[in-house]
Structure 1
């Protein structure tokens, strides 16, 4: 169930990235293929940067969408391997 929630969060995050990109000057003047290529090649990096910005070292947790905080235990319960958590 938690993994499904992380998937939902990722979908929302990608939509936010797309919405942001559409606001960038010149983005909508690019061909649809170029827009998709740029989004595909940069979405994970943008998501990682945003995730690192939301990390709270005091509680060792990450807050998603303002209300959902997850710590190491939550990530483990969601099925993430220890190498990605630690």
Structure 2
């Protein structure tokens, strides 16, 4: 890490990445709780990942959570609407 003489151990790197979390908004959407920190960016960069990848994955996970939380009746209605021809 630039500017820091000591390096992260694997447990401390995992602990740092665990701080990336989603929160539910009042409208039912999910978003990142906090911005990705510089330390997290360095750790992600070691794996070829960046902040945009995290945001994209967070968005996809949020949509999956929303779909799983949707009542079954509404899911069936949505699936029927996709199969209808106009």
- Structure having the higher helix fraction is 1
Structure 1 and Structure 2 fold alike (TM over 0.5)? no
Q: TM-score, normalised by structure 2?
A: 0.33
Between structure 1 and structure 2, the one with the greater Rg is: 2
- Structure having the higher strand fraction is 1
Higher relative contact order (CA 8 A, sep 6+): 1
